[in-house]
Amino acid sequence: MHILEVQNLCKEFGSAKVLKGIDFNQEEGQVVSIIGSSGSGKTTLLRCITGLETADSGKITVGGHVTFDAAEKKKPSKAERRENQLCTGLVFQSFNLFPQYTVRKNVTLAKELLVREECKAKKRSRQETKAALAEIDESAEKIIASVGLSDKLENYPCELSGGQQQRVAIARALILSPKILCFDEPTSALDPEITGEVLAVIRKLAGEGRTMLIVTHEMGFAREVSNEVIFMHDGVIAERGTPVQVFDDPQNARLREFLSATLRA
């Protein structure tokens, strides 16, 4: 079974057709990279998959669970929407950490709110709730350690470098254990010399078998970490294949142009 199925996804902004029928599947534990020139619709695709944007037509299935279906007229309930939301995680180009909270709180906040609600709904005792919250704290510490920021637990985002902030953002997404973790150019806002620390974290996650969907301009990284590479052009998937196929033996003329342009840069 595919962990992600995207079927005939279309999206327009006004009269601009940005996605013109995207179809692809992703297998569990695989890393898929999306490359393509600026304006080809990569971010829009990721935003549709993660629920930040509503596609005009098409269907998205995550782990057998339909998270979006344009043909479905009934609006999802609040609980359903949240369930759909939690199927995917997203790491933004610009981190978007919560500035008023420490690293620890940035990572625990969403999970805490979730667990508090659950405990309330199930009428758990105060002690049980406390234990559940302590558990979150513990797992947050583990996850923060895994991105190499144990010494920054009580620091605020403004006290961190860009690379460190992005690693916190990854930890924040991981604690909710999404079925697919999406990245939108996770290193584009970083100075070249610190992209490495973020890429190292993603590489490690790939090694652990995380399912990830990564929009990136780092061709070397995409080649090394991906099981599959998707090349988008003008709102469609113009080519897809293994890194070797896409980078060494590109069939599509646009892809060839794109690759030679990025190599020259």
Partner 1 sequence: MTFTQVTTDLLNGFYENLLIFFVTLLGAIPFGLIITFGSMSRFKPVKWLVKTFIWIIRGTPLMLQLFAVLYVPGLVFGIPMQSRMTAALIAFIINYAAYFSEIFRGGIESIPKGQYEAGQVLGMTKTQVFFKVVLLQVIKRIVPPMGNEIITLVKDTSLARVIAIAELIMAAERYAGRGYIWPLFYTGAFFLIFNGLLSLLFHFIEKKLDYYKG
Ligand X SMILES: Nc1ncnc2c1ncn2[C@@H]1O[C@H](COP(=O)(O)OP(=O)(O)OP(=O)(O)O)[C@@H](O)[C@H]1O
Binding mask 191-230 for Mg ion (x = CB under 5 A): ----------------------------------------
The b-or-e profile of 166-196 (16+ CB within 10 A means b, else e) is bbbbbbbbbbbebbbbbbbbbbeebeeeebe
173, 91 Cβ separation under 8 angstroms: yes
Q: Tell me which of 30, 61, 67, 88 binds partner 1, using CB under 8 A.
A: 88
Number of residues that bind partner 1 (CB under 8 A): 27
Near partner 1 by CB under 8 A, which window of 4-12, 17-25, 168-176, 220-228?
Answer: 168-176
Q: Does 162 bind partner 1 (CB under 8 A)?
A: no
Dist CA 72 CA 79 (whole Å): 17
Q: If binding is defined by CB under 8 A, does position 115 make contact with partner 1?
A: no
Residue 156 near residue 99, CB atoms below 8 Å:
yes
By CB under 6 A, what part of segment 25-44 binds ligand X?
A: 36, 38-44
DSSP assignment of 91-144 equals E-TT----TTS-HHHHHHHHHHHHHHHHHHHTT--HHHHHHHHHHHHHHHHHHH
Q: According to the binding rule CB under 8 A, does residue 189 interact with partner 1?
A: no
Closest CB to partner 1 among 19 and 173? 173
Minimum Å gap between C-beta 100 and partner 1 is 5
- Residue 70 binds partner 1 (CB under 8 A): no
Tell me whether strands 228-233 and 236-241 are parallel, antiparallel or unpaired.
Answer: antiparallel
Q: How far is CA 189 from CA 174, 183, 193, 243, in A?
A: 21, 13, 12, 24
Collect all residues with Cβ–Cβ distance below 8 Å to 169 and sequence separation of at least 6: 91, 92, 95, 96, 97
156 is a site residue for partner 1 (CB under 8 A): yes
Least Å distance, CB 207 to Mg ion, is 26
Residues at the site binding partner 1, with contacts judged by CB under 8 A: 50-52, 78, 82, 85-86, 88-90, 92, 94, 96-100, 109-110, 113-114, 156-158, 172-173, 176
Residues at the site binding Mg ion, with contacts judged by CB under 5 A: 43
Residues at the site binding ligand X, with contacts judged by CB under 6 A: 13, 16, 18, 36, 38-44
